[in-house]
Amino acid sequence: MRAPARINQPGRRPKRSGAATASSLSEITHPGDPISLHDLLALCAKYMSLDDLKLIYRAYQVAAVAHEGTKRQSGEAYIEHPLAVGAILAELAVDAQGIAAALLHDVVEDTSMSRDEVEQQFGPLIARIVDGVTKFNVVEASDTAPAQDARDASASAPPTPIDVQRKREFKAHQQVETVRKLFGAMLEDPRVVLLKLADRLHNLRTMDVMQPHQREIKARETLDIYAPLAGRIGLYLFKVELEDFAFKYLYPADFERVTSRLRELETTRADWAERMCEQIRQKLDSVGISAAVNWRMKRPYSAFLDSQQSQLDIGALDDVIAFRVLVNSVEECYLSLNLVYEIWRHYHDSFRDYIAMPKVNGYQSLHTSVFGLDGRLAQLHIRTHRMHIAVQHGAATQWLEAALSRKPGSVDPTQWLKRTASWVGRIANWHNELNLTASEFVETVRGEMFADQVFVFTPKGAVRELPAGATALDLAYRIHTGLGDTATGAWVQTTNRQDELVGITVPLSYTLRNGDVVRILRDPNSQPRPEWLDIAHTRYALDRIRRSLGRLRRAGALPMSLPGAPDEEPTAETEPERPELLKHPSGRPADVQLARCCCPVPGDAIVGLPGRGRLVTIHRTGCRTLSATVARRREVGMAYVETIPLGWAQLPQTDYVLCVTIDGQDHQGLIHQLSIWLAEHGISILRSSAAANPDRAKAAITMMLLVPATRRADDVMRRLRRSPGVTQVERDLRRGCDGGRA
């Protein structure tokens, strides 16, 4: 359920004085115009002047002539597609130039009309927006298209395998170049990305008529690029709809199962949710806070991912129903939070203050969970009405605010870089500073912009965002190249396993964690070393390290055989062998999980078993459970029946489970002394059992331990063997496997 707008708050768009009226619309339209055009103009008339509407109508006329006679696969006239895209943008109050570009966005790509003709008729601004969403092959690919010298020989001959392969390669080249072009254009004007997302959204809404393989390609690209992009610019309404459509076409059975479960939960819990809302309203009203309180169901794709990753039923997720409390000021947000805590006990460690510390896309809200009515866990989001509009519409908020203030011409799109998070600036840096091919650029965006992120702080409180797996060295280069080149380590304030705040000195290879406060340690006489190429995780840091190493090599400070000169591309001979982090078969970075059936530890021979979403479960090669799972999937025709051979270097550092058997002399306090040592070294006991033989004073203990990634399994067992009374410690290799070290 969407939060209702309040009369005196943003969200209900007032009719602008001087805006076009129904009678004035009739002056510029004709009787034969489609109903969808009238609907679009009526929507735009709520916030545009008559001159703006005339511009939109002229764009429609040009597009209608250009697309005349062309049909979509559904059979409807093609012009209905740009009209629908324009209507999506009009719902965001995008200005007349943006709507006109939406109507013209396919004329350069699909008709004989050129970009220059668009510019002559509508000016450079609209032409630039149209060009930004035009596929690469239309305007740039003539020089890179496959050779046509064989056409004259046999125009009607069937394509050879080489031709088919070249066509595939060229198509892939076009796709990555198109994505890079889109990102380049969006740096100058956010209307480019808004138009592209609206175009993709309408295509997905009408994709049922396409062939299954076409739907799958579009859906996969949507999940990899366009839905994460919508999330990055804060356009939540687009993001969730793009994800759900892609989910529907990629995994139809799972989609039906999840949506059915959500409908069932909505039916059974609606009364409970309404009672929760009413109790919150009454509490806030009692102190004079006027608030809009409502609830919403979790979206299908999000519910599916969370259920897969947590291995819980959707009904057990604490945010399957979330409650929104919308108030008028920031002060009322915090006051409302305290009032809610007076009604129900809050769930420990659930509070997140995204008002004081917004997310990278500008998201602001207070998050908390409480034990609500009937003892059921409930998640609450508390924010102002203005924050809620920004949450829903992200980068488009500036146009909505301009329309609400009755100054729709006041938006300067070129200022959006200054108002947007630093990730947009990093894309600009990649364009300007890194010599990346199109495929490298798209892969970098996907891996570093859309993958999971960690947020760390400098000692002065500045927030730095890096991709998961980034190290202290990556942070040093993110702050400044000079700092990276002279870095020697870092001082980190973080929390230990007992949630105690501790300060520690760490090497540059330290993997950053959310919430770390990091101060980079430096020595002016220090310089980059070749082994740093194995430490850095981000593309930018690797590029800077290679350039610095190249300068040192040319100055004679390093051997001439050092790989990676700054002026040349690394070759197969010079590129250091550095395995990439594991990826899911979908191409996205894997969400790695160590299997509990066989409990692999670093050093074991392992394979990965892909699952839904991005999940890859890591098993020992001899795992019986793995073999049975693969056989069952193959028998019922499920996806992902092939395992992925891999090494530990391809996995992010993670805590692991170590199962051990301990034999010793039975004496009082044996288990206690073992537990004390384990706790002192940050090792948790997940499960334990003990058996004693009083007659022979012998004890046999089995333990399942959660070991930090920084500790080796053999070191742990060696230390346990030194404990008084312990005679033998061995790893229990029987769990789920055929025995023996794989």
Element of type H or E holding 269: helix 252-285
Classify residue 565: in a domain, yes or no: no
Task: Round to whole Å and give the CA distance between 610 and 414.
Answer: 43
Residue 248 in domain: no
The closest alpha carbon to 733, from 675, 661, 646, belongs to: 661
Q: What is the pLDDT of residues 303-338, one digit of tens each?
A: 998 887 777 889 888 889 999 999 999 999 999 999
On the question of pLDDT at 66 being above 60, the answer is yes
Number of domains in the chain: 4
8 A C-beta contact, residue 220 and residue 246: yes
Side-chain half-sphere of 269: how many Cα atoms within 13 Å? Answer: 27
Between helix 300-310 and helix 252-285 the angle, nearest 10°, is 100
The answer on pLDDT for 114 being more than 60 is yes
Of 604, 630, 650, at which residue does a domain stop?
650
Q: What is the pLDDT of residues 567-619, one digit of tens each?
A: 443 333 333 444 677 888 887 888 888 988 888 998 888 999 998 888 899 99
The SS3 assignment for 395 reads helix
By the 8 A CB rule, do 108 and 118 touch?
yes
Lowest mean pLDDT among 119-123, 362-366, 666-670: 666-670
With a cut of 80, say whether residue 167 has pLDDT above it.
Answer: no
Overall size of the chain counted in residues:
742
Q: How far apart are CA 459 and CA 516, in angstroms?
A: 10
Cα–Cα distance between 695 and 478 in angstroms, integer?
65
Q: Tell me the average pLDDT across 99-128.
A: 92
Max mean pLDDT among 130-134, 225-229, 326-330, 351-355 falls in: 326-330
Residue 541 and residue 462 share a domain = yes
User: 453-462, 513-522, 641-650, 693-702: lowest mean pLDDT where?
Assistant: 693-702
What lies within 8 Å, CB to CB, of 345 at 6+ separation is 370, 371
Q: How far apart are CA 476 and CA 483, in angstroms?
A: 6
pLDDT of residue 14: 39
CA 2 vs CA 27, 293, 313, 364, 402: distances in Å? 36, 10, 25, 17, 22
* Tokens found for residue 442: 């798209």
Q: What is the mean pLDDT of residues 59-75?
A: 92
Asked whether residue 120 is domain-assigned, the answer is yes
Distance (Å, rounded) from C-alpha 133 to C-alpha 612? Answer: 31
Q: What is the pTM of this model?
A: 0.60
Q: Are residues 541 and 431 in the same domain?
A: yes
Highest mean pLDDT (candidates 385-389, 572-576, 685-689): 385-389
CATH code: domain of residue 689: 3.30.70.260
Domain limits at 720? 656-731
Whole-angstrom Cα distance, residue 480 to residue 490? 15
Q: Give the C-alpha separation, 458 to 138, whole Å.
A: 46
d(CA 73, CA 322): 39
Let me know whether 531 and 601 are in one domain: no
Classify residue 249: in a domain, yes or no: no
Spatial distance between the Cα atoms of 339 and 331, rounded to a whole number of angstroms: 13
The string of pLDDT tens digits covering residues 297-311 is 999 999 998 887 777
pLDDT value of residue 1: 36
Cα–Cα distance between 533 and 531 in angstroms, integer?
5
From 631, 650, 669, give the residue that closes a domain: 650
Q: What phi and psi values does residue 178 have, to the nearest 5 degrees?
A: -65, -40
With respect to residue 390, please indicate whether it lies within any of the assigned structural domains.
Answer: no
Does residue 42 sit within a domain?
A: yes
Highest mean pLDDT among 101-105, 183-187, 356-360, 722-726: 101-105
Whether 619 contacts 595, CB under 8 Å: yes
Question: Which element (helix H / strand E) includes 377?
Answer: strand 377-384
Mean residue pLDDT across the chain: 79
**Beta bridge pairs of residue 687:** 704
CATH of the domain at 49: 1.10.3210.10
How far apart CA 493 and CA 562 sit, in angstroms, is: 35
Structural domain contains residue 679: yes
For residue 483, what is the domain's CATH number? 3.10.20.30
Query: Do residue 517 and residue 612 come from a single domain?
Result: no
> What contacts 65, CB < 8 A, 6 or more positions away?
none
448 backbone φψ class: left, alpha, beta (φ>0; ψ -120 to 50):
alpha
The larger pLDDT score, comparing residue 166 to residue 137, is at 166
550, 455: one domain = yes
DSSP string across 161-214 = HHHHHHHHHHHHHHHHHHHHHHHHHHTT-HHHHHHHHHHHHHHHHTGGGS-HHH
DSSP 8-class letter at 140 = T
Q: Is residue 276 in some structural domain?
A: no
For strands 606-610 and 644-646, give the pairing: antiparallel
Q: What angle do CA 495, 498, 501 make, to 5 degrees?
A: 30
Long-range (24+ apart) CB contacts under 8 A made by 621-625 are 621/742, 622/598, 622/737, 622/738, 622/739, 622/740, 622/742, 623/595, 623/597, 623/598, 623/736, 623/737, 624/736, 624/737, 624/738, 625/595, 625/597, 625/598, 625/736
Q: Report percent pLDDT > 90 for the chain.
A: 30
Same domain, yes or no: 437 and 548:
yes
pLDDT top residue among 61 and 725: 61
- Ranked by mean pLDDT, which of 267-276, 469-478, 483-492, 553-562 comes out on top? 267-276
598 and 705, same domain (yes or no): no
Quick one: 81 and 111 in the same domain? yes
Q: Are residues 50 and 122 in the same domain?
A: yes
- Could you tell me if 510 and 436 lie in one domain? yes
Tell me the C-alpha to C-alpha distance, in Å, between residue 682 and each of 457, 490, 494, 499, 651: 24, 21, 14, 11, 22
Q: DSSP secondary-structure letter at 222?
A: I
Quick one: 627 and 670 in the same domain?
no
Q: 621, 650, 679: which is the final residue of a domain? A: 650
Residue of 225, 206, 299, 217 lying closest to 250 (CA atoms): 217
Cα first-last separation, the chain: 52
Judge if 687 and 604 occupy the same domain.
no
pLDDT in tens, 6-50: 333 433 443 444 455 555 677 788 888 999 999 999 999 888 888
What 3-state DSSP class applies to 80?
A: helix
Question: Residue 152: pLDDT band by 50, 70, 90 thresholds?
Answer: very low
